[in-house]
Chain A
Amino acid sequence: MKKDKDNSNPNISLIELFQEELKLQLHDFDELLKKLLVTGENEFAFDQIIRCAHSIKGAAKLINLDLVVLISNAIEVLFRAYNEKIVSLADSHLATLFDCSKLLQILVQSSSSELKKNLENQNKQFIKLSSELEQFLSDGYIEKKKNASSSLIENNKIENFLSNLKIEVKVLIEGISHLRADFENQEILEEMTLVSENIKKIGEGINLPIVIQLGEALETCFRAAFNQQLIWTQGHMDLLAESIGFLQHLSECNAYGMQSWLTKHEKGIEAIACVILAISKEASSIPAKKKEKKDDQKIEKDDVDNELTTESFFYDSAMLDLFYGELEQRVIELNQGILLLEEQSNDPKVLESLMRAAHSLKGAARIVDLNLISQLAHSLEDFFTSLQNNPTEIQEDQINELFNAVDLFTRLSQIPCNNIRAWIKDHFVQIENVITSLSNMAENPKKKIIPSIEKKQLPKSTSKNFIKLQKDLVSTKDLSIKKQLKKDSYLRVSAVNLNRLMGLAGESLVESRWLVPFSESLISIRREQNTLSSNFNALYEEVSGEGLYSGIKDRVSYLKQQLQNSQIKLAEKLQELELFIRRQSNLSDRLYSEVINSRMRPLADGIEAFPRLVRDLAKQLKKKVQLIIEGKNTTVDREILEKLEAPLNHLLRNAVDHGIESPSERRAAGKNEVGTIRLTAYHKAGTLIIKVSDDGRGVDLEALRQKLIDKGFVSSVIAERLNESELLEFMFLPGFSTSKEVTEVSGRGIGLNVVQNMVHEVGGWIKTYLDGGLVIQLQLPLTLSVIRALLIEISEEIYAIPLAKINRVLMLSKEKINFIENNHYFHSEGKNIALIYAYQLLNLPSSQKSPNSFPVIVINKGLNEYGLIVDKFISEKEIVIQELDPMLGKVQDILGGAFMEDGSPLLIIDVEDIFMSIENKILKNHKEDFNDLLEKKKNKKILIIDDSSTVRETESILLQKEGYQVFPAVNGLEGWKILQLENYDLIITDIDMPQMNGIELIKKIRSEPKFEGLPILVISYKENEKDKIEAIEAGANFYLTKNSFKDEGLIAIVNELIEIKGKNIK
């Protein structure tokens, strides 16, 4: 566990504190035990001891003394049981308890540095004592039962029986009246089942067959109803009421009269019991609605039920909560331990911790009466013990079996606590199977597992179950991760709280900044005071020469003195203020960065599930794989961490499935049989790097190239020219998979696309290369909440644009701005860049200034560059993104807000949105003289060349709506032919087409003088920069991707191209 590692050397003072506490508590504990020795059971003493043990447990937990926790927990639980009168105190118990006290005393006496060592030495003793304590607990139950029935004389026994019966009958009567109103109340039905079972049992206690029979009949009936096999009718109710009536009469007899009453009514009772039993049994043979396995287990059923329900009055939800907590903790330990066991086989330390985990689970399950679960844990423990005593190489199927058991625990931990018993009943066979094979393994650790008889009966084989379990695990993955988050020493803070905290911390920072100007103003006052003082002095010098009255002289020198004093005081106070400011700003700076950092979490938190995932997958695919995780403590923004979960899952699955070869292949290639997958995380240049690499077969580039051609992603000509990294990039396209078949594991071709989407979403990028195996490197921002941005002014208010989105900024003089068709342009680096006023885009009032040069921010989306004219550049600044009021929803063009140092708000511009707004704006400008255009458009002819009919159709409809005449062609060659026949105003072409592709077509058109000035627009699937450049170089005027073209954007560009026809062609 992480926590262990961190605190493996808790500082000495903590241990000393613990010893101090332990000493105090042990003193009380001893005193109380002595008291108990004299007084016997004593509730006050019990309470006190529970408190003592609890304190010790708490303290020990703090410094990770597991053994002490174990034993103090056992003591606490035992005494709770005394208190609840479930177990009665015996002298032998006290002896053991004194032993415990002595054992703990050793810890008090040992020096603090030796404590851990001493603890390890006493290891066996601790475990022995705590299991003895647990034994008392379970003995106690049995003892109690025996007491109830056998040890009393006959009459007392009957009296006892009758009074017990009375209690149960009372419950039955109450229950049945409820049931009349609410036939299917599951809770009551369950309770009734339990009660009738109890009646059966107390009948057994004094050997009254008639009561046993009736109890059983009732039990079967209620259970059938509970399982929804029995449909209630009024008749049932009457029967039940009658039989309960009998029981009530019986319970009202006295010890002497009972026998005679029984002989009188025996026949009647027997008859009614038979009827009920018959009806219920018939009902039970119908498969249950919910739980189908129910009846297969008929034979063992009585057994199970006894186990599951006898002592179940002793549990409450608080106890179950404790159990769940324990369960979650232990499951993690078991999972980690078994994985280690698999790697390092029989490391005694690992075995030790596994044994302890299983042991604790056993105890915990027993306390809440989940005996089957306790058995399961017990069989695990047995197995580990047998391994300890008899160190042998652990086998793979044994590991699988162990995981089966752990998976059962995992699933158990996800069952809501009121269903837990039902769940156990439902999975009885499954659990029993696992127990059987575990105990087989414990007996014969060397042999292969012999499938048990029950297994044969059950068609589902272990391996099938295993896969099923695994699926369940995957589907409940989110759940389990959420649960894990809770457990670490982390607190769950709601996002609202955290935001509020962040706001307040920011505010306190702002407040502290206010102090500096304030102190400066004080300094200027001091300066004035100084001037005043020197003026005064000068005056004094001047006046003192001429003989003044001595009275006035005195007063003047007194004034001088006062002035001096006040000067000194002010200087002192100023100094104090200065110091305070320094402390204050330091403090609030730290507070602020701490709050911002509270969003960061170690990577380890998000990847707990991966070792198990890789291991299970490898087993399923019969490969040998080890996962090495490097940089677990690398901190990651919690938002990014959450988002990383799915992509990493995919990458690891891919690595296991496609990357790592089978052991035989690896042997043949001269590699180690065990493949290695490395998950590495580190910070680099202000970004987070996450690398997933394997030493597998890598990617066959030639096959990939062929596949690209086959799938029609690129033409063969282009495919030949693609280099390694370009080829690998295709793997991230949706629908692309290198795998020949779709398997359960991977190969659906969505996985890598998911990775890409996530990375792009947070503004990172992916690098893929071959280094032995495949390496996929994700470069992500460290945090999503702090960004560097350029602050600008638009219509007298401050806005920020993320630096990452800015291409470049420049001051553009008035003369360089051209005006074409209602739109402003400027010429830069051989391109015309459209200029847009930011205030127009944002629907803000104009600032009414007309300067000689304009601040312009150039942003680009693919090849499209736009210049945004703002009013003023202010500065570059690191800002913390804050949400705007959620009531607003998403504000167009705005990403969020932030605060300046003085607390005044600024808004952050959403550059992605801005592109859309720009495209709309350009379109609108065009529409201003729409009528003109429409006239012109009617005569304009566009040729659309695309092999996809859908694309042709979509584009045609759009353009026809705009008034253009549209003509289709299915490939480059046909397009070329059509071009010869008629004149067109615009060509829209795809790149990848059969016969003649787009690039070839463009080159052909450009080489023909008669087509000079004909604009060509490329619309292609390919988003690659290189393709765009290739197309532009060939002579295309514009490049749009099919994925990204928005209707209005397309139209805007088409309009533009047709308008400036001929102006921009080389």
Chain B
Amino acid sequence: MNISDHEKKKDQLLDRIAPKEYTQELTEIYSQESDQMIPQTLSPYFIFSLCNEWFGISVKSLKEVVNSRSIHSIPHRSNEILLGTVNIEGQFKLVVSIKKILCKSEKNNSRNNDITEKRMVVLKQEEQNWVIIPEDILGIRYINLEEIQNNPLSMSNNNQSFLRGIIYIENKHAGIIDEDFLFQSLKKSIA
């Protein structure tokens, strides 16, 4: 057998199509295992804090956490929600302050406070990115969606519509953010 024969045999061996039953079997195994590993009611959420309150947002909306960097304000556009623009991987992304939207008290609403935070979080919605500046980050936690409680009446009105509900996690109450609602109102606020 010469080399090209070997090659051929190798190709035949490696390129051969797996038998149908084999594929089927594997498919079944995988589909079962994934069911067992993560019960459907558990979903990963990114937990962070703003104005001494905790919030969670689905990791589907999380792109990355980066070190803080300089923000350039945008003439005619910057306001208490739109802080400006930053360089994320060489592209301009918008930095927004969601305190105004999420926090019930407005005690921590000055712009300078935001910038002193150490990290920035890039959120994504399809192709669009938003950069927010959390005060503290707890990390990613699995949350049982069935345990989400309705907003207690004691919470102020102004952020209720942005939250799906409240969850109790690691001794903290965290508001679960309705990301569609949040992004929509952010979009409105920059238009």
Contacts and interface: CB of A to CB of B under 8 A. Distances in A.
Contact of A887 (B73, B75, B86, B128): B128
A892 to B, nearest CB: 5
A496 B127 CA distance: 10
Contacts of A503: 89-91
Interface stretch (A647-655, A897-905, A961-969, A997-1005): A897-905
Interface string B151-191: 00000000000000000000000000000000000010011
A843 B75 contact: yes
Nearest to B128: A887
Contact of A888 (B87, B90, B190): B190
A842 interface: yes
Nearest to B71: A905
Contact of A905 (B75, B87, B89): B87
A280 to B, nearest CB: 47
A883 B90 CA distance: 11
A907 B90 contact: no
Nearest to A27: B4
Nearest to B88: A503
Contact of B75 (A903, A904, A907): A907
A447 B191 CA distance: 71
Contacts of A342: none
Interface in B75-107: 75-77, 85-87, 89-94
Interface string A1-34: 0000000000000000000000010011000000
A843 B76 contact: yes
A698 interface: no
Contact of B74 (A502, A504, A888): A888
Interface string B21-58: 00000000000000000000000000000000000000
A363 interface: no
A894 B92 CA distance: 14
Interface residues of B, number: 26
A502 B72 contact: no
B87 A904 contact: yes
Contacts of A27: 4
A505 B90 CA distance: 8
Interface in A834-888: 842-844, 882-885, 887-888
Contact of A891 (B4, B69, B75): B75
B70 interface: yes
Given A24-B4, A887-B187, A507 B72 contact: no
Contacts of A1035: none
Contacts of A844: 73, 75
B103 to A, nearest CB: 23
Contact of B92 (A496, A798, A893, A897): A897
A883 B92 contact: yes
Interface residues of A, number: 36
B72 A904 contact: yes
A500 interface: yes
A506 interface: yes
B75 to A, nearest CB: 4
A616 B33 CA distance: 68
B85 A842 contact: no
A499 interface: yes
Q: Which of B73, B90, B191 has the most CB of A within 10 A?
A: B90
A843 B78 CA distance: 9
B4 A899 contact: no
A676 B77 CA distance: 55
Contact of A884 (B4, B73, B85, B129): B85
A797 interface: yes
B91 A500 contact: yes
A574 interface: no
A847 to B, nearest CB: 13
Given A843-B75, A891-B75, A892-B75, A903 B93 contact: no
Contacts of A882: 90-92
Nearest to B82: A888
A500 B129 CA distance: 13
Interface string A494-513: 00100110111111001000
A905 to B, nearest CB: 4
A891 B74 contact: yes
B82 to A, nearest CB: 9
B89 A904 contact: no
A903 B92 contact: no
Contacts of B85: 884-885, 897, 905, 907
A906 interface: yes
Nearest to B2: A27
B69 A904 contact: yes
A887 B76 contact: no
A116 to B, nearest CB: 26
A599 to B, nearest CB: 15
Given A504-B89, A897-B85, A906 B75 contact: no
Contact of B90 (A28, A502, A798, A843): A502
Contacts of B191: 889
A921 B53 CA distance: 43
A889 B87 CA distance: 18
A897 B75 contact: no
Contacts of A888: 74, 77, 94, 190
B72 A897 contact: yes
Contact of A904 (B4, B70, B128, B187): B70
A843 B128 CA distance: 26
A889 B94 CA distance: 12
Contacts of B90: 500, 502-507, 510, 882, 899
A33 to B, nearest CB: 16
Contacts of B86: 905
A894 B75 contact: yes
A893 B87 contact: no
Contacts of A883: 92
Contact of B93 (A28, A505, A797, A885): A885
A904 B88 CA distance: 10
B92 A905 contact: yes
Contacts of B190: 887-888
Contact of A885 (B71, B73, B92): B92
Q: Which 8 A-B pairs have the closest CB atoms?
A: A503-B90, A842-B75, A507-B90, A506-B90, A905-B72, A503-B91, A904-B70, A884-B92
5 contacts: A503-B91, A797-B73, A891-B74, A891-B77, A905-B87
Given A28-B4, A884-B85, 18 more contacts: A502-B90, A503-B90, A505-B90, A507-B89, A798-B72, A882-B91, A883-B92, A885-B93, A885-B94, A888-B77, A891-B74, A892-B76, A899-B90, A903-B87, A904-B87, A905-B85, A905-B92, A907-B75
